[in-house]
């Protein structure tokens, strides 16, 4: 406070009082001089009788702009809102509901939105919103903070970064972007920071359990999905591994609409969840037994001859010849020294000869591959008997007769048979699955089996059919802008240069080319699996490495598999962390076994910085907390999914609240400080990971495209991104901003998009993978088919060469209840978890759902507090008794912050989360690590626990 201000504020009855406004100003400029008590006549004022007068103005506002939520609501994402602004504040939002109907035969997308998005303005302004940069002044986690200026914070952080770059190397600086990724300015900010400083980004996909390992193994890719309106063409919708009534709120109406049209909806879930109650049929299945259920269905399909032989022959590896002795494919290298390891064979029933499989097309021509039989072949190793994978599969399926499987799954035998027949006979069946099975220890097998069921029945490529992988589609112009060198306006030539000399090799498809590019990029080590980071450097190894403790069938220790995977280059070794930027993530809430990070990870860090809009659990333990702007306080472009194939704009309805800043500006200011401090300290050089010297002297100039883009106006980036985007119909930033969204017109040149493998037509719903089924373009796997037989060494060692059911191990110990979870209806990850409006719709605090009988057996009544524990830890929670919960199951939906529980311990202290070594496999064309794919996953589903009654819940 300045001396002048102090004098001004001094009260003296004689001197009178001056008018002093700071947060408010006089609207009429002619009256502005009245401030300060100029002696002008008081302005006329409208009559005021009571506060009710104000309500005449209620439905007026200053302006309406388009906005969306830059949150990771993934499967349901993409809803444009009208955002109403009054006096520089957002007053409310309304679903814009202007999405077009794809064509007149399918329902439209309106209105898109969920209750979280509809209350975002309230969340944006709620009490937890951070206002200014905070610096820790007590011990980490003690909760003592003081406000600092942005400059002070940035300069200090910059000094730490410079020291670390020079001393420990750039890779020891980690960025965790959590789910905060955009396709616009925030992304460019991160990409440029990382590339210019050669830092590390956490790849969290397998840590959170979204990595779809079964899709990766079977299809060679995980990112593919049809549009939600494509469901209208389905006559059988299987909700299996998801709960769209909770997690796809804006899309769920398509399921009901398909049902009105005659589709049958079947929910395969342990609990009769919110999606199940709207289904025609509920197929109960014991927790963790979905692979057994699927294999039993395959048993029925194959034994009753219901399989689609044409599809199986053309699209899958099931006709490929295998030596049953060695459990290896017959390969080119079996016939000649130096022969190809990726040449495979089938027996042609037409020519009665063994033929090499085409590497370039799925078209069979005159050939008719055998699915059964035994064939003698002369190989370099002598005479061998080979047989199609299908024959091995048929024998394998003998273990899964419905009667036997029912013992595992708890699903009635009759129901298993009828489900199998339904899928086989459906005109167009689809499985709505989400990232659920990835969160099981044996989830890879569960997913593989889903693909197997549907492949046997030919349920891919037809409108309304398929299995959703990980859905994603984005503009293809954003990444090139992120990596473009300055100056900015030369993007055209740069793009040409970027892709120059790059393209599919002779026998590569476009998909394969992009996937190879991703793998090559990954080898540079900028992306590191967070699961592996926390295993190696985070103190989580006693959990993630303890697989054999719970899974005694495992032949070797996890560490042994991991050492092999590291040594062979199948997995990347995480560098030692020194600085951790949590910018969109929240590891101390998110990571299973997060409590171990307090001891194992945080003490290793010289600096932890959190960028967030609220005081998350991670922010609470950081050294600096930097307040992020809200989603209605920034201009940006948000990526989409094919489910709702519209890229969205979020526009700056109002200025960032208090002292908060956009991600772009935070990166900008950090880079500015790094250059400034490095030059001031005369410490401008550092060695990058390759040992090459880099300079910090102009690093900010390069970051800002030599001043082309400013801190508070990222619009040039957004304009440039759209200018070079090829898959959004040529829409400009101005147009996108005005309308709020634009429909994708193609997949463009993007590794993430390309694996949807389909053409996008303006008036057609999107059906994934039609490039394979219609155009006969090969799949990006080793066999170039949907691959169900994997002869990689870990698969052979673990007996998983064919899809298999393995019992969920008793992770956590010998306890009777199995804890599951799922994405909640009332929050998108942690973003609304402690939002009052959402908590008011639940019990106001963390809650666990429990079956009536299980609660009664323990004397627990609804609303009572219990202790839930196992060999690893315990937590307290209140119980909601639910008739919908499977006996033996308890459900804690995800993303509660630990501080919301008594004792500040969440359910994640009980999750054992052991790695399954099968997911470390590599060295096998499509089993290779790259971003989001091919890394060992963390898991929690089916954690064993016991529940003990504690009594009445706490008050308040």
Partner 1 sequence: MRDSRGGLAEARSGAYRLFAEAMIYPDAGFKEWVQDGELVESLLGALSDISPALCEGSGSWDALRDAGVEDELEIEYTRLFEAGPKGPLCPLYGGLYGGIRMKVMEEAARFYNHFGLTLSGTPQELSDHLTTELEFMHYLAYREAEAQREGVDAGPYRRGQRDFIERHPGSWIPTLCIRLDEVEAAPFYAATLHGLRALLEWDSERLQREEPRSS
Residues binding ligand SF4 (CB under 6 A): 68-69, 71, 73, 76-79, 112-114, 116-117, 250, 828
Identify residues 888-927 at the interface with partner 1 (CB under 8 A): 897, 899-900
Closest approach, Cβ 744 to partner 1, in A, equals 34
Closest approach, Cβ 5 to partner 1, in A, equals 8
- Choose among ligand SF4, partner 1, none what residue 511 binds, the Cβ cut-off being 5 to 8 Å by kind: none
Identify whether the C-beta of residue 915 lies closer than 8 Å to the C-beta of residue 558: yes
Identify residues 84-143 at the interface with partner 1 (CB under 8 A): 86-89, 91-92, 121-122, 125-132, 134, 137, 143
- Choose among partner 1, ligand SF4, none what residue 496 binds, the Cβ cut-off being 5 to 8 Å by kind: none
Identify residues 644-673 at the interface with partner 1 (CB under 8 A): 655-659
183 vs 911 by CB, closer to ligand SF4: 183
Find tokens 């490495």 and name the residue: 545
Is omega for the bond preceding 158 within 30 degrees of 0, making it cis?
no
Q: How far apart are CA 300 and CA 293, in angstroms?
A: 11
Per-residue contact flags (x/-) with partner 1 for residues 555 to 594, judged by CB under 8 A: ----------------------------------------
For 748-767, the DSSP string reads: -S-HHHHTT-----TTS---
Selection from 231, 236, 215 nearest residue 420 by Cα:
236
Angle, vertex CA 89, rays to CA 84 and CA 91, nearest 5 = 40
> Does residue 277 touch partner 1 according to CB under 8 A?
no
> Does residue 20 touch partner 1 according to CB under 8 A?
yes
- Choose among partner 1, ligand SF4, none what residue 16 binds, the Cβ cut-off being 5 to 8 Å by kind: partner 1
- Choose among partner 1, ligand SF4, none what residue 552 binds, the Cβ cut-off being 5 to 8 Å by kind: none
- Choose among ligand SF4, partner 1, none what residue 828 binds, the Cβ cut-off being 5 to 8 Å by kind: ligand SF4
Residues 6 or more apart from 691 whose CB is under 8 A from it? none
Q: Give the ranges where 557-616 is alpha helix by DSSP (H).
A: 558-567, 587-590, 595-600
Identify whether the C-beta of residue 456 lies closer than 8 Å to the C-beta of residue 304: no
Identify residues 615-634 at the interface with partner 1 (CB under 8 A): 615, 617, 620, 625
Residues 6 or more apart from 769 whose CB is under 8 A from it? 219, 224, 460, 461, 466, 756, 757, 758
Question: How many other β-carbons are positioned within 10 Å of the β-carbon of residue 132?
Answer: 17
- Choose among partner 1, ligand SF4, none what residue 412 binds, the Cβ cut-off being 5 to 8 Å by kind: none
236 vs 644 by CB, closer to ligand SF4: 644
CB-nearest residue to ligand SF4: 117
Q: How far apart are CA 936 and CA 507, in angstroms?
A: 30
Closest approach, Cβ 68 to ligand SF4, in A, equals 5
> Does residue 29 touch partner 1 according to CB under 8 A?
no
Q: How far apart are CA 516 and CA 205, in angstroms?
A: 19
252 vs 605 by CB, closer to ligand SF4: 252
> Does residue 841 touch partner 1 according to CB under 8 A?
no
- Choose among partner 1, ligand SF4, none what residue 68 binds, the Cβ cut-off being 5 to 8 Å by kind: ligand SF4
Q: How far apart are CA 678 and CA 865, in angstroms?
A: 55
- Choose among partner 1, ligand SF4, none what residue 775 binds, the Cβ cut-off being 5 to 8 Å by kind: none
Task: Name the phi and psi angles at 23, rounded to 5.
Answer: -85, -20
Q: How far apart are CA 478 and CA 208, in angstroms?
A: 25
Identify residues 139-198 at the interface with partner 1 (CB under 8 A): 143-147
How many residues belong to the chain?
A: 956
Identify whether the C-beta of residue 935 lies closer than 8 Å to the C-beta of residue 528: no
Closest approach, Cβ 432 to ligand SF4, in A, equals 16
68 vs 182 by CB, closer to ligand SF4: 68
- Choose among partner 1, ligand SF4, none what residue 42 binds, the Cβ cut-off being 5 to 8 Å by kind: partner 1
- Choose among ligand SF4, partner 1, none what residue 20 binds, the Cβ cut-off being 5 to 8 Å by kind: partner 1
For 831-887, the DSSP string reads: TTTT-HHHHTTTTSS-EEEE-HHHHHHTT--TT-EEEEE-SS-EEEEEEEE-TTSPT
> Does residue 31 touch partner 1 according to CB under 8 A?
yes
20 vs 103 by CB, closer to partner 1: 20
Half-sphere exposure of 45 (CA within 13 A, CB side): 6
Closest approach, Cβ 50 to partner 1, in A, equals 6
Angle, vertex CA 804, rays to CA 801 and CA 806, nearest 5 = 120
- Choose among partner 1, ligand SF4, none what residue 128 binds, the Cβ cut-off being 5 to 8 Å by kind: partner 1
- Choose among partner 1, ligand SF4, none what residue 144 binds, the Cβ cut-off being 5 to 8 Å by kind: partner 1
72 vs 379 by CB, closer to ligand SF4: 72
- Choose among partner 1, ligand SF4, none what residue 813 binds, the Cβ cut-off being 5 to 8 Å by kind: none
Closest approach, Cβ 143 to partner 1, in A, equals 7
3-state SS assignment for residue 37: coil
134 vs 927 by CB, closer to partner 1: 134
For 332-396, the DSSP string reads: GGGTSTT--TT-BEEEETTTTEEEEPPSS----TT--B-SS--EEEEETTEEEEEEEHHHHHHHH
Q: How far apart are CA 356 and CA 375, in angstroms?
A: 14
Among residues 116, 160, 331, 614, the one that binds partner 1 under rule CB under 8 A: 614
Q: How far apart are CA 836 and CA 830, in angstroms?
A: 13
208 vs 392 by CB, closer to ligand SF4: 208
Closest approach, Cβ 174 to partner 1, in A, equals 24
């Amino acid at each position: 406070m300045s001396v002048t201000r102090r004098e001004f504020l001094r009260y003296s009855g004689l001197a009178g009082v001056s008018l002093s406004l700071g947060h408010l100003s006089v609207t009429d400029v002619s009256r502005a001089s009245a401030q300060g008590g100029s002696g002008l006549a008081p302005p006329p004022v409208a009559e005021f009788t009571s506060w009710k007068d104000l309500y005449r103005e209620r439905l007026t506002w200053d302006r309406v702009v388009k906005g969306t939520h830059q949150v990771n609501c993934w499967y349901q994402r993409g809803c444009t809102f009208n955002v109403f602004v009054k006096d520089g504040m957002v007053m409310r939002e309304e679903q814009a509901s202007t999405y077009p109907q794809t064509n007149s035969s399918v329902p439209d997308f309106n209105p898109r939105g969920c209750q979280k998005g509809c209350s975002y303005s309230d969340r944006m302004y709620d009490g937890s919103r951070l206002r200014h940069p905070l610096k820790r002044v007590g011990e980490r986690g003690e909760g003592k903070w003081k406000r600092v200026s942005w400059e002070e914070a940035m300069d200090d952080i910059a000094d730490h970064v410079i020291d670390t770059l020079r001393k420990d190397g750039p890779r020891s600086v980690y960025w965790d972007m959590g789910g905060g990724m955009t396709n616009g300015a925030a992304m460019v900010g991160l990409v440029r920071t990382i590339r210019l400083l050669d830092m590390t980004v956490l790849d969290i996909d397998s840590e959170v359990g979204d990595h779809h390992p079964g899709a990766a193994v079977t299809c060679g890719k995980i990112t593919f999905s049809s549009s939600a309106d494509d469901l209208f063409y389905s006559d059988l919708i299987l909700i299996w591994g998801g709960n769209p009534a909770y997690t796809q709120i804006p899309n769920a109406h398509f399921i009901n609409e398909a049902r009105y049209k005659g589709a049958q909806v079947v929910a395969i879930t342990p609990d009769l969840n919110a999606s199940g109650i709207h289904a025609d049929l509920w197929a109960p299945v014991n927790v963790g037994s979905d692979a057994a259920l699927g294999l039993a269905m395959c048993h029925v399909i194959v034994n009753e001859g219901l399989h689609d032989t044409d599809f199986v022959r053309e699209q899958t590896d099931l006709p490929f010849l295998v030596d049953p002795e060695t459990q290896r494919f017959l390969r080119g290298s079996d016939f000649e020294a130096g022969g190809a390891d990726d040449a495979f064979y089938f027996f042609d029933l037409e020519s009665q000869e063994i033929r090499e499989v085409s590497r370039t097309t799925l078209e069979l021509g005159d050939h008719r591959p055998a699915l059964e039989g035994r064939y003698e072949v002369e190989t370099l190793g002598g005479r061998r008997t080979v047989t199609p994978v299908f024959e091995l599969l048929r024998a394998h399926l003998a273990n899964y007769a419905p009667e036997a499987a029912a013992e595992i799954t708890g699903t009635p035998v009759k129901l298993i048979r009828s489900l199998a027949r339904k899928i086989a006979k459906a005109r167009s069946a689809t499985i709505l699955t989400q990232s659920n099975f990835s969160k099981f220890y044996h989830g890879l097998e569960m997913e593989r089996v889903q693909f197997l069921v549907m492949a046997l029945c030919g349920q891919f490529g037809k409108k309304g059919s398929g299995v959703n992988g990980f859905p994603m589609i984005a503009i293809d112009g954003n990444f090139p802008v992120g990596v473009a060198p300055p100056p900015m306006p030369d993007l055209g030539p740069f793009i040409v240069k970027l892709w120059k000399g790059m393209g599919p090799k002779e026998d590569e498809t476009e998909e394969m080319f992009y996937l190879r590019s991703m793998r090559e990029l990954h080898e540079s080590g900028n992306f590191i699996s967070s699961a592996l980071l926390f295993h190696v450097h985070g103190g989580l190894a006693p959990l993630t490495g303890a697989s054999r403790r719970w899974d005694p069938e495992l032949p070797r220790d996890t560490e042994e598999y991991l050492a092999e995977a590291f040594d062979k280059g199948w997995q990347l070794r995480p560098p030692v962390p020194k600085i951790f930027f949590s910018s969109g993530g929240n590891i101390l809430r998110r990571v299973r076994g997060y409590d171990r990070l307090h001891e194992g990870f945080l003490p290793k860090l010289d600096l932890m910085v959190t960028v967030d809009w609220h005081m998350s659990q991670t922010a609470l333990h950081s050294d600096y907390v930097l307040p992020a702007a809200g989603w209605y306080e920034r201009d940006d472009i948000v990526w989409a999914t094919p489910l709702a194939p519209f890229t969205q704009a979020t526009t700056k309805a109002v200025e960032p609240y208090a002292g908060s800043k956009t991600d772009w500006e935070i990166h900008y200011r950090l880079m500015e400080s790094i250059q400034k401090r490095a030059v001031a300290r005369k410490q401008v050089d550092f060695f990058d990971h390759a040992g090459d010297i880099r300079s910090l002297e102009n690093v900010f100039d390069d970051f800002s495209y030599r001043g082309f883009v400013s801190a508070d106006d990222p619009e040039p980036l957004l304009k440039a991104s759209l200018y070079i985007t090829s898959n959004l119909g040529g829409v400009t930033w101005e147009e996108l901003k005005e309308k709020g969204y634009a429909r994708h017109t193609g997949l463009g040149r993007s590794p993430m998009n390309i694996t949807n493998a389909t053409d996008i037509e303006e008036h057609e719903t999107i059906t994934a993978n039609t490039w394979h089924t219609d155009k006969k373009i090969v799949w990006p796997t080793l066999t170039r088919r949907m691959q169900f037989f994997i002869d990689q060494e870990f698969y052979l060692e673990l007996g998983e060469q064919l899809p298999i059911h393995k019992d969920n191990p008793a992770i956590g110990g010998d306890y009777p209840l199995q804890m599951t979870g799922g994405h909640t209806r009332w929050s998108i990850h942690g973003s609304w978890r402690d939002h009052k409006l959402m908590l008011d719709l639940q019990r106001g605090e963390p809650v666990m759902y429990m079956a009536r009988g299980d609660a009664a057996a323990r004397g627990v009544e609804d609303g009572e507090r219990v202790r839930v524990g196992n060999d690893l830890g315990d937590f307290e929670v209140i119980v909601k008794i639910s008739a919908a919960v499977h006996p033996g199951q308890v459900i804690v939906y995800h993303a509660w912050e630990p501080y919301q529980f008594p004792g500040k311990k969440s359910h994640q202290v009980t999750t054992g989360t052991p790695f399954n070594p099968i997911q470390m496999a590599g060295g096998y064309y499509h089993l290779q690590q790259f971003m989001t794919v091919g890394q060992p996953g963390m898991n929690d589903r089916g954690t064993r626990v016991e529940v003990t009654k504690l009594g009445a819940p706490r008050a308040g």
